[in-house]
Structure 1
Amino acid sequence: MTVLKELRPVMPILIGASVMLSLGMGVRQSFGLVMPSLTRDIALTVSDFALAMSVQNLAWGFLQPVAGALAVRVGFRPVMMAGSALYIAGLALFAMAGGMTGVMLGGGVLIGLALACTASAISLAVGSRTVSGPLRSFVLGAITATGSLGALLAAPLGQMLTADLGWRAGIVGFLVLVVGMLPAAWIAGRVDKLSLPPTTATQIGNVSARTALVSASRSLPFLVMTTAYFVCGMQLLFITTHLPSYLAICGMDPTLSAEALGAIALFNVFGSLFFGWAGGRWSKLALLGGIYIARSIVLAAYFFFPPTPLSTLVFASIMGFLWLGVGPLVAGSVAEMFGVRWQAMIQGVAFMSHQVGSFLGAFGGGLIFDAMGSYDLAWRLGVGMGLVAGIVQVSFALLGPPPKPATA
């Protein structure tokens, strides 16, 4: 009853943040479905498309700290509304693309800007401000879980429209879904009226953005987490960008790609809820390292053998369970280390590292495929780096020094 009493007044905010995240991430995770027909239709290579998606991730990552700082200065609602409008504009330009320029500007730059203002760092920062510490990890897991449901709608819709009417129709279908982000962002913007929870002795409070960034740069646990987060982005974007192409090369039914993305989205719900719950009970940083190690083992097991429909869906389901569980763990760790006032900005700095890894996972995977005609080297690199990152993260979480009080 105490939990329900605390959640009831802020439930509209949490639902709005979840819907906004769900639609934005669901559409973004489904772009790989249009790659085969798009590249044939307008004479692009796989690496051309991968470059546009990589630029999207770089724009998202490098602008995430800026969006987080703006949310503190002008409020979350203006930032999220602007991001939703940019997403619609980016998809419109993407759908009309006749070559690399339209794909790069629409699917790359504009959507990258939009995600910086609406995706996980902003949505989870909204969630962190609505509840107290003991309940925060679970709430962040719930937002991440419901935020993954958009792919269950976007992936089959995009696949159906692309197969029947072409890739442009698939992107228009994505655009229709993204319109729903506008009212969701408006409702989630009610968080601007809430007062901030008090800070502890190890967190930062009412300080400047520069002071907050300096505090983060001097925190060894934060720096280790941020470095390992790089490998997380590399693995995930390699899968979402190149799995449809890999399955097509192996002669699989085109619908299997949409089914695999749907399985990732479905099992991500369970994984996000679990890791949100677990993060409230055990070391968030150790759990992060465990996710990276488990992902690497699953990735190696899948790509070592020729794919089948069953192995692909099993792979997608397990990987989905391990997919965005990092979200509540990273967001919760940042809130614990530094407090919630500058959470979106500091989390954005960590996410910048994630997105540099995403760039290498998407674009590097395309370059390796174009150069070698297969994805073998790409997945082997992803497995090796993931194991190293996970082992270092777990070792530091269990054996490293405790966080020191932040300097204001």
Structure 2
Amino acid sequence: MSAATSPAPRPSLAARAPLLVVLCGCMIAMLTFGPRASSGIFLLPMTGEYGWGRDTFGLAIAIQNLLWGVGTPFAGAIADRFGVVRVLWAGAVLYALGLVLMAFSATPGMLHLSAGVMIGFGLSGCSFNIVLAAFGKMLPEKWRPISFGAGTAAGSFGQFLFPPLAAGLNTTIGWHQTLIVFGAAMLLVMPFALALATPKPTVKAHEPQQSIGGALGEAFRHPSYIYLVLGFFTCGFQLAFVTTHLPAYLTDRGLSLTIGGWTLAVIGLANMVGSLSSGWLSSRMSRRYLLSAIYFGRGIAIAAFVLLPASPVTSIGFGIVLGLLWLSTVPPTSGLVMLMFGTRYLAMLYGFAFFSHQVGGFLGVWLGGVLYEQLGSYDFVWWLAVALSFASAAINLPIVERPVERGEPARA
């Protein structure tokens, strides 16, 4: 009788227990972000055992980043249309299989299939992007900014937890078995995903009906969305390059692999503070100015790190500073997409912004490996990351922070 008009299944759990929804989403973000943030821990053991160059391993992780970005808009469109649970389940299973197959990848082709294709597409279906979109749809307005920060911070906790865990397990049970353990852990996503179940969305009377194609056309004709997408490219370039190549870079400069693992861990720990702070600030100040400041700060931090002598103190200090700015771009970016276009196609439209992020990630990882093999150092890529930081700081400034104008008034 009232089934056609009542959206009760969607807000029921979020209205009664929003904290439970946030906690389950945060567990998914933590679990899925952890292994991919540990990729640099496996670079030296795998290349050493099989005699590969760093460019071979770097290409696999570059493919992973690119396909994570390619798959995210499609996974988001499916989640927008049919709900997130099936998408999260499928992504978790593919991610788990990719990690297990990576443990047995003795050829570059198998490594590119497992660590690249399977994990990349798996991440597109079960990473924090889908979780944040679910938060935007399910949770009351007052919960959204802090939930975006919490979901991002949870991914950072995965980065804090998994790299030292990977380094420790590598020395005790070996890198093959470590990947199998991580693969099994990904299946824990499936029970947590049940808390994010939503029904098929209904179009409300005051909202203009809009197709997927119409939503995409509207977004890509909007200059502010284009600026946001282009700026997000830099974030992906820097994160993927640092995650994959920082441990090897520190080893080249005379530090231990353990320092590399703890530097990645400290980045994740500091980013818990940075992401939560960014989520809180996103509802209290201009998001474009916040993004510009984050990118500018990253450029300064990277330049200082490259110029200073390598030591455990400078490495951990760099991890703390960069961690505060690490994923802090995500809450204002997702918040701007939601402000401009509403929540109806949030997962898909944020997915296209994330695709730009992952194109940057592909180039960061791939160029890191290729240029290291050609030049014998990472210096050129570090300075390219600095230049991109300042470019993104500038490109976010012209963004207009208001809902897109449609044929009839629509509130975001």
TM-score where L is the length of structure 2: 0.91
Tell me whether 1:222 sits opposite 2:225 in the alignment: yes
Q: Could you say if the C-alpha distance between residues 162 and 196 of structure 1 is closer, same or farther in structure 2, counting changes exceeding 3 Å?
A: farther
Alignment partner of 2:52 out of 35, 38, 44 = 44
Q: Could you say if the C-alpha distance between residues 113 and 35 of structure 1 is closer, same or farther in structure 2, counting changes exceeding 3 Å?
A: same
Counterpart contact for 1:132–1:197, Cα < 8 Å:
no
Tell me whether 1:335 sits opposite 2:338 in the alignment: yes
Alignment partner of 1:283 out of 282, 286, 298 = 286
Mapped partners of 1:8, 1:318: distance in 2: 38
Counterpart of 2:89, as a letter, is: M
Counterpart contact for 2:15–2:140, Cα < 8 Å:
no
Q: Could you say if the C-alpha distance between residues 251 and 310 of structure 1 is closer, same or farther in structure 2, counting changes exceeding 3 Å?
A: same
Mapped partners of 1:407, 1:81: distance in 2: 38
TM alignment of 1:2-401, pairs within 5 A: 8-188=16-196, 190=197, 192-193=198-199, 206-394=209-397, 396-397=398-399
Q: Which residue of 2 aligns with 1:405?
A: 405
Give the C-alpha shift of residue 90 in structure 1.
0.6
Deviations 1:138-194 (A, max 9, x none): 221111112321223211221011123332122123223222212122332x2x149
Counterpart of 1:311, as a letter, is: T
Q: Could you say if the C-alpha distance between residues 149 and 236 of structure 1 is closer, same or farther in structure 2, counting changes exceeding 3 Å?
A: same
Give the C-alpha shift of residue 118 in structure 1.
1.1
Mapped partners of 2:407, 2:335: distance in 1: 20
Identity, % of aligned pairs? Answer: 34
Counterpart contact for 2:271–2:324, Cα < 8 Å:
yes
Mapped partners of 1:198, 1:27: distance in 2: 40
Counterpart of 2:109, as a letter, is: T
Mapped partners of 2:381, 2:160: distance in 1: 27
Counterpart contact for 1:196–1:340, Cα < 8 Å:
no
Counterpart contact for 1:159–1:170, Cα < 8 Å:
no
Give the C-alpha shift of residue 403 in structure 1.
5.3
User: RMSD between aligned alpha carbons?
Assistant: 2.0
Counterpart contact for 2:92–2:122, Cα < 8 Å:
yes
Instruction: Could you tell me which runs of 5 or more consecutive residues in structure 1 were left unpaired when the two chains were aligned.
Output: none
Mapped partners of 1:90, 1:407: distance in 2: 46
Counterpart of 2:309, as a letter, is: P
Counterpart contact for 1:60–1:115, Cα < 8 Å:
yes
Counterpart contact for 1:264–1:320, Cα < 8 Å:
yes
Mapped partners of 2:203, 2:81: distance in 1: 17
Instruction: Could you tell me which runs of 5 or more consecutive residues in structure 2 were left unpaired when the two chains were aligned.
Output: 1-12
Mapped partners of 1:406, 1:27: distance in 2: 42
Mapped partners of 1:271, 1:11: distance in 2: 20
Number of residue pairs matched by the alignment: 396
Counterpart contact for 1:256–1:309, Cα < 8 Å:
yes
* DSSP 3-state at the match of 2:17: helix
Mapped partners of 1:62, 1:19: distance in 2: 24
Mapped partners of 1:136, 1:314: distance in 2: 31
Counterpart contact for 1:84–1:185, Cα < 8 Å:
no
Deviations 1:72-108 (A, max 9, x none): 2222111111001111111111111111122111111
Give the C-alpha shift of residue 135 in structure 1.
3.3
Mapped partners of 1:227, 1:34: distance in 2: 31
Counterpart of 2:67, as a letter, is: A
Counterpart contact for 1:7–1:131, Cα < 8 Å:
yes
Counterpart of 1:363, as a letter, is: W
| Structure 1 stretches of 4+ moved >6 Å | 194-200
Counterpart of 1:19, as a letter, is: M
Give the C-alpha shift of residue 195 in structure 1.
6.3
Mapped partners of 1:18, 1:325: distance in 2: 15
Mapped partners of 1:199, 1:63: distance in 2: 32
Q: Could you say if the C-alpha distance between residues 380 and 212 of structure 1 is closer, same or farther in structure 2, counting changes exceeding 3 Å?
A: same
Give the C-alpha shift of residue 251 in structure 1.
1.6
Mapped partners of 2:107, 2:192: distance in 1: 33
Q: Which residue of 1 aligns with 2:3?
A: none
Q: Could you say if the C-alpha distance between residues 402 and 149 of structure 1 is closer, same or farther in structure 2, counting changes exceeding 3 Å?
A: closer
* DSSP 3-state at the match of 1:306: coil
Give the C-alpha shift of residue 402 in structure 1.
5.5
* DSSP 3-state at the match of 1:211: helix
Counterpart of 2:288, as a letter, is: L
Q: Which residue of 1 aligns with 2:10?
A: none
